[in-house]
């Protein structure tokens, strides 16, 4: 039983570390994608935890998140984190663009 808890902790830590790749972007870390393609940002920063189709993985399924949370609520989670999701993976315009894009997933 203890090995299952240890395995779960290791998998959770690995999944969370994959959520933010930690490598600086070419623009000094100000934006992950100038021009703001929300789908590309989600692919780069969110898919490791939420799945490549937003189907859920370590993080919850986001395929219909817009029917559960408003754009403002989604932005709050992106900026401040929630549960196992760390805060600050996306900031500023990038966070806003992703929140708007996700809010349309109904």
85 is in an annotated binding site: yes
DSSP class of 24: P
19 is in an annotated binding site: no
Write the CB contacts of 32 (distance below 8 Å, at least 6 apart in sequence): 25, 41, 44, 45, 90, 94
Residue 100 clears pLDDT 70, i.e. is over it: yes
What is the token pair recorded at 101? Answer: 């894009």
Residue with tokens 């990038």: 94
46 is in an annotated binding site: yes
What is the token pair recorded at 89? Answer: 């993976």
Which comes out higher in pLDDT, residue 10 or 80? 80
The pLDDT confidence band at residue 1, using thresholds 50, 70 and 90, is low
50 is in an annotated binding site: yes
The predicted structure's pLDDT at residue 33: 41
Q: Where in the chain are the domains?
A: 2-22+34-103
What is the token pair recorded at 42? Answer: 């989600």
What confidence tens digit (pLDDT) does each residue in 10-68 have?
Answer: 444 445 445 544 444 434 344 444 335 999 999 999 999 999 999 999 999 999 999 99
CATH topology classification for 2-22+34-103: Cytochrome Bc1 Complex; Chain D, domain 2 (1.10.760)
Nearest-angstrom CA–CA distance, 87 and 52: 20
């Amino acid at each position: 039983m203890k090995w299952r808890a240890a395995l779960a902790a290791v998998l959770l830590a690995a999944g969370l570390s994959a959520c933010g790749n930690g490598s600086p972007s070419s623009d000094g870390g100000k934006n992950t994608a100038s021009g703001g393609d929300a789908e590309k940002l989600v692919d780069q920063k969110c898919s490791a935890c939420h799945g490549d189709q937003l189907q859920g993985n370590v993080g919850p399924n986001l395929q219909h998140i817009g029917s559960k949370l408003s754009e403002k609520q989604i932005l709050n989670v992106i900026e401040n984190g929630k549960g196992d999701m760390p805060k600050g993976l996306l900031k500023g315009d990038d966070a806003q663009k992703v929140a708007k894009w996700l809010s349309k997933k109904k």
